[in-house]
Structure 1
Amino acid sequence: MAKRPVNNLLGLAVLAYLTRRPMHPYELSKTLRDNGDARSIKFTHGSLYMVFGQLQKAGLIEPVETNRAGARPERTLYALTPAGGDELRDWLRDLLGRPEHEYPHFVAALSLVGALTPDEVVPLLRARRSALEGQRDDARGVREAALAAGVHPLFLVEEDYRETLLNAEIGFVERFLGQIEGGWAADWGGTS
């Protein structure tokens, strides 16, 4: 597959939101935050403006209007181009249909956990489990509040997925704790 002109999830989000209507970067930033997308896509105002520039350079979006309201700075509205719409759909198809190997920090830490002693690892894993339970409860709360407000479940599927992953990681951490406390600690090398 050819390399994408912009290969980051923020670029994908910009393309997706511009299917609704032309927007300027500041408005899109506010929309991303209002819709809770900052929980799924890491961004700053600066990175958003940079992505707008990359998307424009690649021909995926184009400026359609520049205006100024009062003493505010000039704002340029951008719209999705036909090529941008095609790229959005192709990219989403790739992300949804093809698993890709990711490099989560926790997996890296697990691969090196033997460098610590069980006495260090057990409290760290207990703290992680507690933090994960809090994150799971937050995700559940976001989803339940949005459903109660009438949001269609399709627009909350990422919260359902997030909660499912958190439950799986909590289960793994509990199992790993049980293995360590159930006898693995005796055979553990670790550092002293």
Structure 2
Amino acid sequence: MMILGLVRWMQPVHGYDVRRELLSWGADKWANVQPGSIYHALRKLTEEGLIRAVATEQVGARPARTTYEVTPVGEDEFQTLLRGFWWGLSEPLDPFSAAFGFLPALPRSEAAAALRNRANLLRANVASMRASLESDWIRNSKPVHVGWMFELWAARAEAELSWCEQVADRVESGVSYLPAELENAEGWSAWREGGAPLDADPE
């Protein structure tokens, strides 16, 4: 959607200019758009009939540059994708969520330390994002709303680091991880204490 949208925005446009614009937004860091994949994506969009090449020109010994524009089919696809992402909710996949599901497998001291370390890493990221918001790169970026996304990411990170610290406090307090019906169930004693041994069989 990013590449299709930029072709639509800047058309007629060379692939080089699409690449430069995406990098000026920092999209390689937050949208999983790698600079080396942009030309491949343009070719794929062309093959699918979403964009078309309108001209190819070469100046001196420089590589030939192809100019692209969006087709009617591409316009429909862009509008569909755009509204799907605006009106939908898609949670990012984070391996930490899977690991946290096995919280009782870690000793309490290690789990609490890992949570506090995660909070510190998030705090450093927030500081970096806040610095970027004050930098000339953001102030001079185009469009301005790229900076607004940094504000969103900083707010999310601040919320998560607060959660990490709160859960670390709970872990250290000795609160049981198990629901009441399993508190005295056979085979769950190690999990109740936090830090089940690797050879433990909870069944």
Is the TM-score greater than 0.5?
yes
- Are residue 177 (structure 1) and residue 174 (structure 2) matched? no
Equivalent residue number for residue 30 of structure 1: 20
Q: Which amino acid in structure 1 is aligned with residue 168 of structure 2? A: L
Q: Which amino acid in structure 2 is aligned with residue 174 of structure 1? A: E
List aligned pairs for 1:65-80, cutoff 5 A. 65-80=55-70
Report how many residues are paired: 181
List aligned pairs for 1:1-192, cutoff 5 A. 12-18=1-7, 19-145=9-135, 148-149=139-140, 153-184=144-175, 187-191=193-197
Q: Taking structure 1 as reference, are residues 182 and 159 closer, same or farther at Cα in structure 2, changes over 3 Å only?
A: same
Q: Which amino acid in structure 2 is aligned with residue 63 of structure 1? A: A
Q: Taking structure 1 as reference, are residues 71 and 118 closer, same or farther at Cα in structure 2, changes over 3 Å only?
A: farther
Distance in 2 between residues matched to 1:49 and 1:148, nearest whole Å: 28
Q: Which has the larger radius of gyration?
A: 2
8 Å CA contact retained: 1:118, 1:190: no
Equivalent residue number for residue 183 of structure 2: none
Q: TM-score, normalised by structure 2?
A: 0.77
For residues 117-163 of structure 1, the C-alpha deviation after alignment (integer angstroms, 9 at most, x for no partner) is 22322222222111111111222222233665486753423212111
Q: Which amino acid in structure 2 is aligned with residue 121 of structure 1? A: A
8 Å CA contact retained: 1:117, 1:191: no
Distance in 1 between residues matched to 2:119 and 2:88, nearest whole Å: 30
User: C-alpha root-mean-square deviation of aligned residues, in Å?
Assistant: 2.4
Distance in 2 between residues matched to 1:54 and 1:40, nearest whole Å: 22
Q: Taking structure 1 as reference, are residues 47 and 114 closer, same or farther at Cα in structure 2, changes over 3 Å only?
A: farther
Q: Taking structure 1 as reference, are residues 48 and 150 closer, same or farther at Cα in structure 2, changes over 3 Å only?
A: closer
Distance in 1 between residues matched to 2:97 and 2:26, nearest whole Å: 26
- Structure 2, unmatched stretches of 5+, are 177-191, 199-203
Q: TM-score, normalised by structure 1?
A: 0.81
8 Å CA contact retained: 1:26, 1:45: no
Higher alpha-carbon deviation: 49-58 or 152-161: 152-161
- Structure 1, unmatched stretches of 5+, are 1-11
For residues 66-85 of structure 1, the C-alpha deviation after alignment (integer angstroms, 9 at most, x for no partner) is 12233222221211222222
Question: How many angstroms does 1:167 deviate by?
Answer: 1.2
